[in-house]
Structure 1
């Protein structure tokens, strides 16, 4: 059954870039290890679009970022030296661990125009992996198993579900999948995890006798559940096991407020390495809200 409905809240990232923020939410900060969920676009970008729409170099700790596109292209560059364009139905999985910086540039849009549409999620790392060495991997093709059944065309992004396992290396039990559903098609929501949710990116679905439109996340209980597409719909299903309480400040996630304060101080003082191929600018630490404070010595 549906325990909670979360409607996306529109947030400006600057330069005309706007997202639908879903997680964290006041009444539900996480679903399994998923602590952040942004719906990007759809946004039509004309040729020559200003660089202000890019996401300049910025830092992360204590999480993995998961970028997945329905359309468009984003170029990732990070402090480990990776440079990787991501295109539709591909995954960029970046594990920040003890600290990483990266940028996300819309270079194809600037050159020829583009339609950007996708999801960026953050996965909180279990306590024993919060300070792991940072890493990056790109996945496409056979790494992300696909299937078609009864008008449902699916792709597994991470974890295990529908009898399949994605090649993405995760740090805790979870699943994350993309379903394209034809009108009238039905799909099971994977069971076997403590926490689960459905996000409707486009179209509309029916679940437990009620219809839900795009832009909503349905947080589910443990009972078996099946949804039906009311129209042609793009749906993300996700879930997993909780990793414990997490604190979030700006781009940092941790089980310790003191660690958040240290990360904020490190970024403000310039102690976190910028990407070698993109080090001419960066996003400064925000003043509002103020960062957590380090304990006095």
Structure 2
């Protein structure tokens, strides 16, 4: 049973399109997921992805690509190229700055860009932990009944990903062959699916592409496709404490967000080694809207 569907807000960034389903006025979170973007597919031209250095607090970002590559740099000194099959988890904690850019050496070939970026709110008592970055490629892959699933975070179908989880989290990419199906585990407090490509149904109910379909808790369901599909499954533990969002900042405390805004204006966040010349100024009206 699908209890809620959330239609994305679409942002045209020129080089590619970003579809944002969380946060929305209808719902702020699904488990710890407080921000869900799907971007592409697109063939990049020009400078490709060029996200200048910007800050985060009290959250963890997860980047997962279907196609393409992104150069990640952060204020810890990390320099990593993100590619398909590799989960990249950046824990902001008390504060981090990072940039995301297309690898310059690959732009001449008009490379593809297609993937997901999500933010996970950090749980109470862990919002101000030390910032960290990790990348993992040794993810469990489940294959059965015409379905192949990569367990990106948490435990699903009896397999656990090595990725750090700060709160109980489930996150997976599911690719269905024509006629394929897979059960959707029911253990998570909250869970949702997004049809990224193709066509699929949950217990016979058709999914709409790019919408977030929130599933009823505690009920085992079956995801199936007649013609083939790619679907993201996400969720985890429900947060008892409300989270606030402003721009790139997430916190249970509005005053902490105000402090982060002032710190960024005043240049008190650390710099990104190797990407020191540019930054994104604090906007007056951010695209990530603030919800109480």
Q: TM-score, normalised by structure 1?
A: 0.92
Q: Residue 121 in 1 paired to residue 118 in 2?
A: yes
**Match of 1:40?**
39
After the TM superposition, which segments of 4 or more aligned residues of structure 1 sit over 6 Å from their partners?
A: none
| 1:35-72 Cα deviation digits (max 9, x unpaired) | 000001011113xx136x41110000000000000000
Distance 2:115 2:80 in 1: 16
Distance 2:67 2:286 in 1: 33
Deviates more, 1:105-114 or 1:280-289: 105-114
* 3-state SS of paired residue (1:276): coil
Q: Residue 85 in 1 paired to residue 81 in 2?
A: yes
Deviation at 1:15, TM superposition (A): 4.7
* 3-state SS of paired residue (2:232): strand
* 3-state SS of paired residue (1:170): coil
* Cα gap change, 1:289 to 1:90, in 2 (>3 Å): closer
> 2:247·2:287 contact (CA, 8 Å) conserved in 1?
no
Alignment partner of 2:204 out of 184, 206, 209? 209
**Structure 1 gaps, min length 5:** 293-297
Deviation at 1:188, TM superposition (A): 1.1
**Match of 2:26?**
27
* Cα gap change, 1:39 to 1:224, in 2 (>3 Å): same
* Cα gap change, 1:290 to 1:240, in 2 (>3 Å): closer
Distance 1:291 1:188 in 2: 33
Deviation at 1:209, TM superposition (A): 2.9
Q: TM-score, normalised by structure 2?
A: 0.94
> 1:184·1:228 contact (CA, 8 Å) conserved in 2?
yes
* 3-state SS of paired residue (1:213): coil
**Match of 1:240?**
236
**Match of 1:7?**
7
Aligned residues, how many? 286
**Structure 2 gaps, min length 5:** none
Q: Give the aligned CA root-mean-square deviation in angstroms.
A: 1.7
Deviation at 1:109, TM superposition (A): 4.2
Structure 1 residues 70-81: aligned runs within 5 Å: 70-81=66-77
> 1:76·1:82 contact (CA, 8 Å) conserved in 2?
yes
Distance 2:132 2:66 in 1: 24
Distance 1:287 1:189 in 2: 41
Q: Residue 97 in 1 paired to residue 83 in 2?
A: no
Distance 1:116 1:196 in 2: 26
Q: Residue 55 in 1 paired to residue 51 in 2?
A: yes
| 1:258-284 Cα deviation digits (max 9, x unpaired) | 000000110011110121111110010
> 1:2·1:208 contact (CA, 8 Å) conserved in 2?
no
